[in-house]
């Protein structure tokens, strides 16, 4: 068995979390007083939001922390049903502990909840405040309705600075007995943009093939894991080469097991990045929207995507 | 164009060809209800032998209001209760009696129709009106309980002689001359299925005043050949009516037809405006298919057919003069491959979300791409990671 590094090297306590000391200091005070309000963690991916929530639970509840902790991923189970069923069910039952009268619900990626679900959640936050505390995480606090925001203490997590990412990665390299070149580290940092999870996954992939991680090893992983396929598809299409674009498209879909919606999302992003005049770009975006709508309506993804590319190709003068 | 199967459908019980005894039983059942041994009839037998049209003819003759639930309806437990439950208990709006028809009950299956058969049984127990059920195969295990509540009536294939005489009547009514041998050939290949024989007759006599044996022989019924012919007509000709008529004989369903048209399009058309026009039409046709699924409004089918077939046909400026050998749609294959891959990812992903404290979405972006890399370059290492995610205990 080989541990996934993001778990193996996940800090177990608030004290171990690096780069967010303003936040962790206050959180530790909460834990010490054995009481705190609902919490909202906002900030980019891979900077310690989930880790902080898990650490709070561990420090507060000790060995049997899992009995008093419910972790839900809003983006997997979005919607009002989850709030009404799982969340409410867990909130209703009292804590079994004498010392701490509440349990914790950690709602990860809470900005993925629909507005209706957030409204329902708000009610539960009010009604069960004696038995449950919510910790919610999100990338953008603006996607959380204000009534919820106003019921939470909000903590804004910052992207991790370069020297902290470096320190963590070097520590991992020591423990795992391999070396990282300095310029390999530079590329690692640029590719992960301060996202520790991404940096660790990237590094583990490199280390799986070599004991000496060089810049070229990192770039090999990066180009594999973040393929330019969709970009190439879009570029073929707008240069008028429909046949090439469609061939690549079908290949990509099958190779990665993508859904039509995955693909059109990326096509739209790539289209926006193209170096063409704005009106042309607007037309491409409008087409993406139209075809995405058709797929949501239940149309066949292959037929619709092919038609979208044909439209792209037609725009070429 | 009116379908002859519709135009010449039996109006009363005695019009139903070759099933005299069965219609008599049905007549007695309906007119004596509820003083009957079993409270429902289960008619079974192959297609086109008069099960459904028998029920219609009876309802028409006895002036009964026909309440029908067929394969085009959603037929899960709740839907059956909603549609049939109330009809079975309430008096008819116009005061006449009702006949309840559950068509093709063996076509109820899958998650969507869950509990449907059980609900039909409940309706039978309480119904104030006679219920007639049809099935191609009444002896499937899922109909075991239902059989206890029904009188079974078997509809046998219709003898060739009877089919021939019916075809003759129709030819005469339509003013079409015929060789006896031609009708014999038609009836012979129908295998006791009167509906398909009448359909074939209509197709064959379209644009002809006389039907000869040669005409019939020339007409291949091979599916593959038909779809190839159809594709050829679409890509090479401009005759819209011909394409639509020919498509009637292709047994592939329309969504597969779209994939065939898509797969072979770029080998026939090469100009950008042709391709774009054709895809535009295919995509529009496809939208109507989605709307059919959404609304169960089967009229949309005609739009899907015309837009796809004629749309692709009229996209070209001039036909490609070269012979093109048509390919089986690769998409059909890739859909299976992709589905298998997604399914596998789904299962592992769900385990991984707990273990790695991340959502499926996040893992798709931040974990699986790196895992795929490891799997390709160092399979053993990847194996080790999988054991961590999915412990073998």
CB B67 within 8 A of CB B100: yes
Residue B106 per-residue DSSP state: G
Contact A3/B255, CB-based, under 8 Å?
no
Same structural domain for residues A182 and A195?
Answer: yes
Q: If we measure between CA atoms, which residue out of B130, B137, B133 comes closest to residue B116? A: B133
* Number of domains chain A is built from: 3
Contact A75 B362 (CB under 8 A): yes
Same domain, A239 and A201: no
Do residue A260 and residue A293 come from a single domain?
yes
* Residue span of the structural domain in which A282 resides: 229-315
Residues A199 and A105 in one domain: no
Chain A residues in contact with B353 by the CB 8 A cut-off are 73, 76
Question: Cα dist. A164→A18, A39, B108, B345 in Å?
Answer: 7, 25, 61, 33
Q: What is the CATH number of the domain that holds A166?
A: 1.10.8.60
Residue B221: pLDDT band (50, 70, 90) is very low
CB of A56 closer than 8 Å to CB of A135: yes
Nearest to B369 among A109, A112, A225 (CB): A225
Q: Which pLDDT score, from 0 to 100, does residue B112 have?
A: 59
The pLDDT value recorded for residue B295 is 80
How distant is the Cα of A208 from the closest Cα of chain B, in angstroms?
6
Which tokens is B375 given? 């799997």
> Nearest chain B Cα to A300, which residue?
B286
Q: In the structure, what pLDDT confidence band is assigned to residue A15 with cuts at 50, 70 and 90?
A: very high
Contact residues on chain B for A3, CB-CB shorter than 8 A: 388
Minimum distance, in Å, between the CA of residue B306 and any CA atom of chain A:
16
B124-156 burial, b if ≥16 CB within 10 A, otherwise e?
beebebbbbbbbbebeeeebeebbebbbebebe
In a shared domain, residues A33 and A86: yes
Q: What are the chain A neighbours of B335 within 8 Å (beta carbons)? A: 302
Which of A123, A156, A189 marks a domain boundary? Answer: A156
Would you state the pLDDT for residue B220?
46
Average pLDDT over residues B139-159: 88
Mean pLDDT across chain B, nearest whole number?
84
CB atoms A257 and B287 under 8 Å: no
Residues 106-125 in A contacting B (C-alpha not used; CB under 8 Å): 108-109, 112
CB contact under 8 A, A303 and B345: no
Rounded to an integer, what distance in angstroms lies between the CA atom of residue A49 and that of residue A55? Answer: 10
pLDDT value for A24: 92
Q: Compute the distance between CA of residue A39 and CA of residue A48 in angstroms, rounded to an integer.
A: 14
Could you tell me if A146 lies within 8 Å of chain B, comparing CB atoms? no
Q: Which of A197, A225, A253 lies at the terminal end of a domain, its last residue?
A: A225
Q: Do A303 and B372 touch (CB under 8 A)?
A: no
Q: Do B272 and A254 lie within an 8 Å CB cutoff?
A: no
pLDDT tens column, B70-104: 766 667 777 788 878 777 777 766 667 889 999 88
Contact A299 B369 (CB under 8 A): no
Q: Are residue A170 and residue A145 in the same domain, yes or no?
A: no
| CA–CA distance, A298 with B300 (Å, rounded to integer) | 14
pTM for this entry: 0.53
Q: Which residues of B touch A202 (CB under 8 A)?
A: 370
For residue A257, list chain B residues with Cβ-Cβ distance below 8 A.
338, 341-342, 345
Non-local (6+) Cβ contacts of A9 within 8 A are A168, A171, A172, A200
Same domain, residue pair A41 and A139? yes
pLDDT of residue B41: 94
- In the numeric block, which tokens belong to residue B102? 């559950």
Chain B touched by A157 (CB under 8 Å)? no
Are A14 and A152 in a shared domain? Answer: yes
Domain end marker among A110, A140, A156: A156
Tens digit of pLDDT for each residue in B350-380?
Answer: 778 888 888 877 887 788 889 888 988 898 9
| Residue A211 distance to chain B (closest CA, Å) | 13
The H-or-E segment that residue B99 falls in is strand B98-102
A97 touches chain B (CB under 8 A): no
Q: Which residues of A touch B372 (CB under 8 A)?
A: 224-225
d(CA A23, CA A9): 20
Nearest in space to A286 (alpha carbons), one of A258, A315, A257, A260 = A315
A201 and B CB contact within 8 Å:
yes
Q: How far is A25 from chain B (nearest CA, A)?
A: 23
State the nearest Cα–Cα gap between A300 and chain B, in angstroms.
7
Question: Which of B352, B361, B335 has its CA nearest to residue B386?
Answer: B352
Q: Is residue B305 over pLDDT 50?
A: yes
Contacts of A7 in chain B (CB under 8 A): 355-357, 388
* pLDDT tens for each residue of A160-200: 999 999 999 999 999 999 999 999 999 999 888 889 999 99
Chain centroid to CA B177:
33
Chain B partners of A299 at a C-beta cutoff of 8 Å? 283, 286-287, 289-290
Round to whole Å and give the CA distance between A21 and A261: 40
Site from A230, A299, A305 to mutate, B interface, most B CB atoms within 10 angstroms? A299
A315 contacts A295 by C-beta, under 8 angstroms? no
Q: What is the percent of chain A where pLDDT is above 90? A: 47
Q: Is the pLDDT of residue B234 over 80?
A: yes
The verdict on a CB contact (< 8 Å) between A208 and B355 is no
Beta-carbon separation of B276 and A294 below 8 A: no
Q: Which pairing describes strands A69-73 and A38-42: parallel, antiparallel, or unpaired?
A: unpaired
Which architecture does CATH list for B4-154?
3-Layer(aba) Sandwich (3.40)
Least Cα distance to A100 among A33, A15, A55 occurs for A33
**Same domain? A135 vs A169:** no
Nearest CB neighbour to A254, from listed B258, B273, B337: B337
Would an 8 Å CB–CB cutoff place A292 in contact with chain B?
A: no
* A58 pLDDT above the threshold of 50: yes
pLDDT interval class at B218 (50, 70, 90):
low
| Closest Cα in chain B, distance from residue A130 (Å) | 26
Chain B residues closer than 8 Å to A196 by CB: none
Q: Name the DSSP class of B177.
A: E
Q: What's the rounded mean pLDDT across residues A210-227?
A: 87
The domain defined by B160-218 folds into Helicase, Ruva Protein; domain 3 (1.10.8)
CATH code for position A33: 3.40.50.300
Contacting residues of A for B390, CB less than 8 Å apart: none
Interface contact B356-A313, CB threshold 8 A: no
Per-residue pLDDT at B113: 67
- Show the 3-state SS of chain A: CCCCHHHHCCCCCHHHCCCCHHHHHHHHHHHHHCCCCEEEEECCCCCCHHHHHHHHHHHHHHHHHHHHEEEEECCCCCCHHHHHHHHHHHHHCCCCCCCCCCEEEEEECHHHCCHHHHHHHHHHHHHCCCCEEEEEEECCHHHCCHHHHCCEEEEECCCCCHHHHHHHHHHHHHHHCCEECHHHHHHHHHHHCCCHHHHHHHHHHHHCCCCEECHHHHHHHHHHHCCCHHHHHHHHHHCCCHHHHHHHHHHHHHHHCCCHHHHHHHHHHHHHHCCCCHHHHHHHHHHHHHHHHHHHHCCCHHHHHHHHHHHHHHHCC
What pLDDT is recorded for position B177?
Answer: 93
Is residue A133 domain-shared with residue A16, that is, in the same domain?
A: yes
A265 contact residues in B (CB cutoff 8 A) = none
Residue ranges of A 212-231 with Cβ closer than 8 A to chain B: 221, 224-226
- Taking CB atoms and an 8 Å cutoff, what residues of chain A touch B377? 208-209
């Amino acid at each position: 068995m080989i541990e996934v590094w993001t778990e193996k090297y996940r800090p177990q306590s608030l004290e171990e979390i690096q780069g967010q000391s303003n936040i962790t200091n206050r959180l530790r005070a909460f834990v010490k007083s054995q009481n705190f309000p609902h919490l909202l963690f906002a900030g980019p991916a891979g900077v310690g939001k989930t880790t902080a929530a898990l650490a709070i639970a561990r420090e507060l509840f000790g060995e049997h922390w899992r009995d008093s902790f419910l972790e839900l991923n809003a983006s997997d189970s979005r919607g009002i049903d989850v709030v009404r069923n799982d969340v409410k069910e867990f909130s209703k039952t009292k804590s079994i502990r004498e010392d701490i009268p509440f349990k914790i619900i950690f709602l990860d990626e809470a900005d993925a909840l629909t507005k209706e679900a957030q409204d329902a959640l708000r009610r539960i936050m009010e009604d069960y405040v004696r038995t449950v505390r919510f910790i919610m995480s999100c990338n953008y606090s603006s996607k959380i309705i204000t009534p919820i925001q106003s019921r939470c203490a909000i903590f804004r997590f910052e992207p991790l600075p370069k020297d902290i990412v470096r320190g963590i990665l070097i520590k991992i390299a020591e423990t795992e007995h391999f070396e990282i070149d300095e310029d390999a580290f530079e590329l690692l940092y640029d590719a992960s943009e301060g996202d520790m999870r991404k940096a660790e996954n990237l590094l583990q992939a490199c280390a799986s093939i070599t004991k000496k991680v060089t810049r070229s090893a990192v770039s090999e992983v990066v180009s594999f894991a973040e393929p330019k396929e969709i970009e190439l598809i879009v570029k073929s299409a707008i240069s008028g080469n429909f046949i090439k674009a469609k061939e690549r498209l079908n290949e990509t879909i099958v190779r990665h097991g993508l859904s039509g919606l995955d693909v059109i999302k990326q096509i739209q992003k790539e289209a926006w990045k193209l170096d063409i005049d704005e009106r042309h770009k607007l037309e491409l975006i409008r087409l993406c929207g139209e075809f995405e709508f058709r797929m949501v309506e239940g149309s066949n993804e292959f037929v619709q995507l092919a038609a979208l590319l044909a439209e792209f190709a037609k725009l070429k003068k | 164009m009116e379908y002859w199967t519709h135009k010449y459908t039996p109006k009363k019980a005695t019009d139903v060809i070759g099933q005299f005894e069965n219609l008599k039983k049905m007549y007695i059942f309906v007119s004596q209800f509820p003083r009957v041994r079993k409270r429902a009839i289960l008619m079974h037998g192959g297609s086109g032998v008069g099960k459904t049209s028998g029920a219609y003819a009876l309802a028409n003759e006895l002036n009964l209001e026909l309440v029908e639930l067929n394969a085009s309806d959603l037929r899960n437990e709740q839907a059956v209760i909603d549609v049939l439950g109330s009809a079975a208990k309430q008096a008819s709006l116009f005061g006449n009696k009702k006949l309840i028809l559950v068509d093709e009950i063996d076509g109820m299956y899958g998650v969507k129709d869950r509990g449907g058969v059980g609900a039909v049984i409940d309706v039978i127990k309480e119904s104030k009106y006679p219920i007639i059920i049809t099935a191609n195969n009444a002896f499937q295990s899922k109909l075991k309980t239902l059989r206890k509540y029904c009188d079974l009536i078997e509809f046998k294939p219709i003898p060739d002689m009877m089919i021939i005489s019916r075809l003759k009547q129709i030819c005469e009514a339509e003013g079409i001359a015929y060789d006896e041998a031609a009708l014999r050939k038609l009836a012979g290949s129908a295998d006791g299925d009167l509906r398909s024989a009448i359909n074939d007759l209509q197709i064959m006599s379209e644009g002809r005043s006389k039907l000869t044996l040669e005409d019939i022989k020339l007409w291949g019924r091979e599916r593959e050949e038909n779809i190839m012919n159809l594709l050829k007509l679409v890509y090479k000709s401009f005759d819209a009516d011909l394409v639509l008529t020919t498509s009637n004989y292709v047994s592939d369903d329309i969504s597969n037809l779209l994939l065939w048209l898509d797969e072979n399009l770029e080998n026939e058309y090469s100009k950008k405006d042709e391709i774009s026009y054709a895809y535009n039409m295919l995509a529009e046709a496809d939208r109507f298919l989605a709307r059919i699924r959404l609304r169960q409004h089967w009229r949309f089918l005609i739009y899907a057919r015309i837009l796809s077939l004629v749309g692709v046909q009229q996209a070209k400026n001039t036909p490609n003069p070269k012979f093109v050998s048509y390919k089986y749609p690769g998409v059909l294959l890739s859909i299976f491959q992709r589905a298998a891959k997604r399914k596998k990812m789904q299962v592992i992903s769900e385990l991984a979300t707990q273990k790695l404290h991340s959502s499926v979405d996040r893992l798709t972006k931040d974990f699986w791409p790196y895992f795929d890399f490891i799997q390709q370059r160092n399979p053993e290492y990847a194996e080790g990671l999988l054991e961590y995610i999915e412990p073998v205990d």
